Chain A
C-alpha cells in the first residue's frame, strides 16, 4: 500500500517534469538561437596592410611619406587621395583578377608602380554571413623611383591588422 502511494507521488513528480520540459524546451531553444547570432566579421574585405620604413645603414627605421595618392592602373580609381604624413596604408586587392597594379604618386612628378600578384580563394562562411575572399600575396614587383625594396612579411591579407608588406624607401 505504502509502495503504491509512493508510486503515485512519483507519477505526479514525473508529470510535473514532463510539463517542465514542455515549457523549458522552447524557452531554452529561443535563448540558444538568440545567442547563436553569428559573428560575420570574417566576411569583411581583407586588405594588404603596409608600413613605411627606411634603412639607415644596417638599421631599419620607421618612416613617413609627406604626401601620398594611390590610384589603380588603367581605371584610375583612387585608393588613397593626397594623404599627408603617411605611416601605414591598407590596400584592397582585386577579387576578379589575381594581379593588382597600383600607382603611388608622391608628387606631381615622382611616382612608383607596384604590381602585387596574389591568389584568390572565395570561401563560403554560412548562409547568414555569406562569403569571404581569402587573398594570399605570392610576390610583388615594383619600380624603384622612390621605393628601395618591398618585403612580404605575412602573405595572407586579412582583417586582423597583421602587417603584410614592408615598404622601404630611399
Chain B
C-alpha cells in the first residue's frame, strides 16, 4: 500500500510538471488577449457591435499524437510499458473521429517466484466531441468514447528449484499441497487471450507552440468480452491495464497538427 501511495505521489508530481506546460501556454494566450483588448479600446469608438458567430469548415486538419504517460509510468517504476500513437480528424471543430494504435508489454516477477511476460499490440477506435467548439481559441475540452481490442500471448512460470549441491528440490511456493505434501510447478508459455472493452473519455487539449498541442484524457474502461487460456487468466491486458471488469486509465499526449 505504501509503495502504491508513493507511486501515486510520484505520478502526481509528474502530472503537475506535464500540465504546467500547457498552462504556461494558456497564460501567454491570456496576455495576448489582454494586450489586444487594450489596442482595441484605444482605436475603436464606443459603438457596440454584435459578435460574429464562429463558423468552422467541415475539415479542419489532422492531428497526430504520441502518448507520454505509458512510457513515463514504466520509467517511474511501474510494471507496464505502453507506447501509443493516435490520429484524429477535426470536423467542424466539433467532432474528432480518432484511431489509437499502441503496443503494451510487461516482464514482471513477484515475491513468490512467479514470472509473467506478455507483449502485444492494441487498437482503439472512437470519437471525441469538443465541448468548446464555438470558441475561437485553440484549446479544446473533450468528451468521447472508444471501443478497444487486444489479442495477446502470455507466459507464466513458477518452478520448483533443484538444489545442485545437496540434491533435493525446494518446493514451488505457489502450489504446495498442505494436506499431503509436495508441490506442483507451473510452466505455461504462449497462452492465448483476448479482450474487448469500451471506454468513456474526458480530457483537455491546449496549444503550446504553433501547431504543437498537449492534452490529457482520463478513461473509464469497461470490459465487454474476454477470453483466457485453459491454464490461467491474463494479468495484464495491453492498452487496458490489470485484468478486471473495469478500471481507470490516463493518457498524456503530445499532439502535432499536420500542415494540411
Binding site for B on A (CB under 8 A): 1-8, 10-11, 14-15, 17-18, 21-22, 24-26, 28-30, 32-33, 36, 45, 72, 75, 77, 79, 92, 94-96, 100, 120-127, 130-131, 133
Contacts and interface: CB of A to CB of B under 8 A. Distances in A.
A45 B132 contact: no
Interface string B120-136: 00000000000010011
A5 B34 CA distance: 9
Given A95-B175, A121-B231, A29 B51 contact: no
B256 interface: no
A127 B33 contact: no
Contacts of B34: 8
Given A18-B204, A26-B8, A95 B177 contact: yes
Contacts of A8: 30, 33-34
Contacts of A1: 37, 40-41, 44, 49
Contacts of A127: 108, 110, 114, 116, 235
Contact of B180 (A18, A26, A32, A96): A96
Interface of B: 4-5, 8-9, 11-12, 15-16, 19, 22-23, 26, 29-30, 33-34, 36-37, 40-41, 44, 48-49, 51-52, 108, 110, 112, 114, 116, 132, 135-137, 139, 141, 156, 158, 174-184, 186, 188, 203-204, 206, 216, 218, 230-233, 235, 242-244, 247-248, 250
B218 A32 contact: no
Contact of A7 (B135, B156, B204, B247): B135
Nearest to B109: A127
B22 to A, nearest CB: 7
Contact of A45 (B114, B116, B178): B178
Nearest to A124: B232
Contact of A30 (B5, B135, B141): B5
A75 B181 CA distance: 10
B204 A96 contact: no
Contacts of A123: 231-233
A45 to B, nearest CB: 7
29 contacts: A1-B41, A4-B36, A7-B33, A7-B137, A10-B135, A11-B29, A11-B33, A14-B26, A14-B132, A17-B204, A21-B203, A21-B204, A25-B15, A29-B11, A32-B248, A72-B180, A77-B179, A79-B179, A92-B179, A92-B180, A95-B183, A95-B184, A96-B183, A122-B231, A126-B233, A127-B108, A127-B110, A131-B186, A131-B232
